[in-house]
Amino acid sequence: MARFFVEGIVRIGESCEIAGEDARKLKLVLRARTGDEVEILDSAGARYRCTIEKFERNALVLPRERLAESAPTRSLRFTLAQGIPKGSKMDYVVEKASELGVAQLVPLLTERCIARECSPAKLERWRRLARSAALQCGRAEAMEIAEPIALERLLSESSAYDALLLPWELAPLDSPLPLLREALAGAKSALGLVGPEGGFSSGEAERAAAAGARMLRFGPRILRTETAGLVLSAAVLLTVL
């Protein structure tokens, strides 16, 4: 059954709208018709089975049954600050981080970023991808895409997180899992910092360590930037299951 987000709080028996690109997809791509069933998620994360009543500019649907709650949200809110990679690599990171349960993705500007332009159109594309990924994997809400931020500024704000993590190819080659368990014990929020192509400079890594970052190394091989963020996310979220 097709699944869509709707704005506001839904009530059984009160019609609501599937709007914009979602309505277009429903009508023109999925070829839905009046009387077909769809699933919607409202702003509170509640799920409903609905019947399509009619198509106008948007799709008007009637909620008929509240469905069982989605899987409970993990107790840890994990934010991934991803050094902005070149090309379309961030599209991949957005989709897979969404599937892994990352709460927020922050496009990160660092010394070695090759791609430094982050236009409103690009941000909007990433937000659409996060929304689509949430619907595909059954998340109750889309992963947040924050405004781009420079590493120095983010480090100055890092005290807002209970744990700060930084994968770095020059960190000691210790098993990262015991370090993660120790760093995340009792944490309600965590921030992971991932460098772009070329990684973090020594100066950046030192400043992150001074801000309290736990330095991690995931094996003897150097991971691509789009791989490193996802490996970190998976390790963090599995650690707190």
Grouping H, G, I as helix, E, B as strand and the rest as coil, residue 207 is helix
The DSSP secondary-structure symbol of 158 reads G
What is the CATH architecture of 3-66?
A: Beta Barrel (2.40)
d(CA 18, CA 96): 25
Integer distance in angstroms from the first to the last C-alpha of the chain? 28
* Residues pairing with 51 in the sheet: 37, 62
The DSSP secondary-structure symbol of 195 reads -
Burial classification of residue 71, based on how many CB atoms lie within 10 Å of its CB (0-12 exposed, 13-18 middle, 19 or more buried): exposed
**pLDDT reported for residue 43:** 76
Q: How confident is the prediction along the chain (241 residues), in pLDDT tens digits per residue?
A: 888 888 888 899 999 999 888 898 898 889 999 999 999 888 777 889 999 999 988 999 989 999 886 555 558 999 999 999 998 999 999 999 999 999 999 999 999 998 877 889 999 999 999 988 988 787 878 899 999 999 999 999 999 999 999 998 888 888 888 999 999 999 999 999 999 999 999 999 999 999 999 999 998 888 999 999 999 999 998 888 7
Number of other CB atoms surrounding residue 200 within 10 Å? 25
The conformational region for residue 100 under phi > 0 = left, psi -120 to 50 = alpha, else beta, is alpha
Question: How far lies 40's CA from each of 10, 19, 52, 58, 64, in Å?
Answer: 9, 12, 11, 14, 11
**pLDDT reported for residue 21:** 87
Pairing of strands 16-18, 59-66: antiparallel
Q: Which CATH superfamily is domain 77-239 in?
A: SPOUT methyltransferase, trefoil knot domain (3.40.1280.10)
The DSSP secondary-structure symbol of 160 reads G
* Residues pairing with 80 in the sheet: 105, 192
pTM (whole model) above 0.85: no
Enumerate the domain spans of the chain.
3-66, 77-239
**pLDDT reported for residue 173:** 83
**pLDDT reported for residue 44:** 76
Task: Let me know the angle formed at the C-alpha of 218 by 76 and 188, rounded to the nearest 5 degrees.
Answer: 10
Pairing of strands 47-55, 37-41: antiparallel
